[in-house]
Amino acid sequence: MLTPKHLHLCAIVLAISTAVSTQTVLANVPHAPSSTAQPDTDQLIIRFRDNASSVAVDKALSRLRTEKGEKFTYAKTTHDKADVFRFEKRKKKADWDKLSVWLKQLPEVEYVEPDFIMNRMEVPAPVTPNDPYLSYQWSLLDAVSGIHAEQAWGYTAGQGSVVAVVDTGVLPHVDLLPNLLAGYDMIADAAVGNDGNGRDSDATDAGDYVLAGECGSSTAINSSWHGTHVAGTIAAAGNNAEGIAGVAYAAKALPVRVLGKCGGYTSDIAAGVIWAAGGTVSGVPVNPNPARVINLSLGGASACGSTMQNAINAARSKNAVVVVAAGNSNTDASQFSPANCAGVVTVAATGKNGGRAYYSNYGNIVDLAAPGGSMNTGIAADGIVSTLNTGTQTALADTYKYYQGTSMATPHVSGVVALMLAAKPTLTPDQVESLLKSSARAFPQPCASCGTGLLDAAAAVQAAVNFTAPVDPYAVLLSDLKKNRDLWRAQNLLNYTYVLEQKTGTSAALRLKLTVKAGVLTEGVNLASNKKLSARDLKAKGKTIEQLFTQIETAINSKYAIVKTAYDAALGYPLDSFLDKSTSITSDNVSLKASSLTKL
C-alpha cells in the first residue's frame, strides 16, 4: 500500500509531556515523521477510468498482486470515485513512485497517488501563563504587530458566517460552545480516530496523544487539542465575560475531524473539505450548515495531488474560501501540500515584532502573513493564546494556552474572511483573496517572501464593505440578448423570409434572402447573383433567426474581444451584430445584419 504522505498540523505547541505509557502500539496506524522526513504511507489511491469494466479492474488488481507481489485490501472510495487500497507493508515515497509508474501504464488506470498522511508540525515551547483574557491577545489588538481587530469589529463580528475547522476535532470548551455547530468525524480508520469507530457525526476531539514508540516517536507526546485552539482563534465567543474573543466572535465554527492519532490520510482530509463546503461524500449525510470559509491548519512535504486539488476545486465551486497554513519548516512553502494547491489562500506566520516567525515557511506561493507567535524568545506570551484543555491524553478541564505556528496564523485569516463575508456575502473566493492581499499592510519588521503584507482586519473588512464588483460587459450583452430573444419568441414566427447580410474580415458582404418554414431553413437566394443556394451552401451559410441568436450567444459566452449587438425594437430579432475574436480588427471579425423580415 502506498506510504501515506504525512501532512502535519502547522502548530508549534507550548509543551510536550515526557510521560511514557506501557500501552501496546496500535496496528496499522501511520506514523508521523518530522517535517523533513520522506513521507510514507500504507494506503494508495487509484482512479480507474469511467469506461473501465469491472472485469478489467479486477484483472488490473490481480496483476498488481501476482506480478508485483503486493498484498492489499480495499479500504474505501473517495469523493471523486477513486478507490483507496490498504497495503500490508508501508512504503517510502520513492517506492510508491516506482509502483505508480507501473500502474499508470495499465489502460484501466486514470491516475495513481499515495494516500499520504497529514499531521501536526510540533516544536516544543516553554511556559504557559494562567491569565487568559483579551488583553493577552496581542495578535488582535497590538497596533504594530496585531491585525487591528477592534476597528474591524466596528463593522461586524461575523454574524451569519460559518467557518469549517478541518482539524483534530473540537472540544466543547465553555468559550466555544455558544458558537459551535455540530460537525462530522471524517476519519475512516478507527485506529487513527482513536475513538473506537470510523466516520460518524461526533466531531469531538478524542485526543491525538502518542505513546513512546508510536508513530515514529521515541518519546510520549500529549494530546494537542489543536482543533480546539484553532477554533478559539476564529470564533471564541465575545462579550461573554469568559476568556478570550475570537477574530470573528459572532461567527459559527464547524468542526470537521480529519486528524487523529499519528495524523490523518489525505483522502479523509479531502472528504472533510468537500463535506464542509456542502458537497456530497458517499455514506455521509449532507452538511446542513455549509461553510463559506474552510481552515486547513495542516500540511506535509509533497506536491498537491489530484485528490486534494479536486476537493479544493469542489469547495470553491460552492463559493467557499480555503485558507491554508504555509508550514513550519523555515523553507519554501511550494514543497508543502495543501499550501501549494491552486485556489487556496496560503498564510505565513509573523512573530510578536511583526517580522517573519523563525519557523515559518515562505516563498512565491504565500499570499500574505498573519500573527503566528514566536516563543523562541523564552516568553510564552509571545505566542497565540486560545482555548484548550488540561488533559494530557483524554479531555479533562477547559483552559487556555499559548501556541505558535502557521497553524495559529491561518485562523486569523479565516476569521477575517468570516468578517468580510458577513459584511459582503456576495464576495467570491477570488474577490476575497484579492481584497485580503491588497488591504494587507507593510511589515513592521522584515518578512521576505511572505506575500503582500501583514493581515489587516480593519482594512480588509472596510475594503469588503466598499467593494463593488466591476460590471461585466458580457453579462450585460447576455442579458440584452435573452430579453430580445424572448421578445422574438413571443411573436411565434415560424414562417418568414428575411435578408441576412454577413461580412467576414475584409471580404465583400454576402447578402442572402432566406426562407424559413416551420422553423426550418428551406430556401436561400444569393441577392448579388440572384442564384438559388445549393443545399450544401444553404446549410453552411444560411441561418434562421433562432440560429443567429445562438451564434451571438456563443460569441458572448466565449468572451470575444468585441461583441456589439442591436435588435429590432418591435420583434427583437438581431438588427445588427459584430463579433471579433481578436483584440484588433482582423480576418476573424464577423458582422451580421438581419433586415426585411416578412411574415409568410
> Residues 456, 443: contact at Cβ < 8 Å?
no
Can you name the residues that pair with 521 across neighbouring β-strands? Answer: 516
- C-alpha to C-alpha distance for 262 and 485, rounded to whole angstroms: 60
What distance in Å separates the CA atoms of residue 224 and residue 30, rounded to the nearest whole number? 17
Contact 231/170 with Cβ under 8 angstroms?
yes
- Cα 292 from Cα 428, distance rounded (Å): 10
Closest by Cα among 597, 593, 595 to 502: 593
DSSP assignment of 452-473 equals T-B--HHHHHHHHHH--PPP-H
Kindly provide the b/e burial profile for residues 405-427, where b requires at least 16 CB atoms within 10 angstroms of the residue's own CB: bbbbbbbbbbbbbbbbbbbbeeb
- 476 CB contacts (<8 Å, ≥6 apart)? none
Task: For 140-240, list the strands marked E by DSSP.
Answer: 162-167, 184-185
* Cα–Cα distance, 3 to 378 (Å, whole number): 37
**Cβ-contact 362, 448 below 8 angstroms:** yes
Q: What is the 8-class DSSP label of residue 181?
A: P
Complete DSSP assignment for 471-509 = P-HHHHHHHHHHHHHHHHHHHT--SEEEEEEEEETTSPP
Which residues have a Cβ under 8 Å from the Cβ of 48 and sit 6 or more positions away? 57, 60, 82, 83, 108, 109, 110
> Of all helices (H) and strands (E), which one includes residue 310?
helix 306-317
Contact 147, 456 (CB under 8 A): yes
Cβ(296)–Cβ(341) under 8 Å? no
* Cis preceding linkage at 338, omega within 30: yes
The catalytic residue positions are 167, 226, 407
Joined together, the cell numbers standing for residue 67 give 506480478
**Cα–Cα distance between 600 and 362 in angstroms, integer?**
71
CA dist 351 and 572 (Å) reads 63
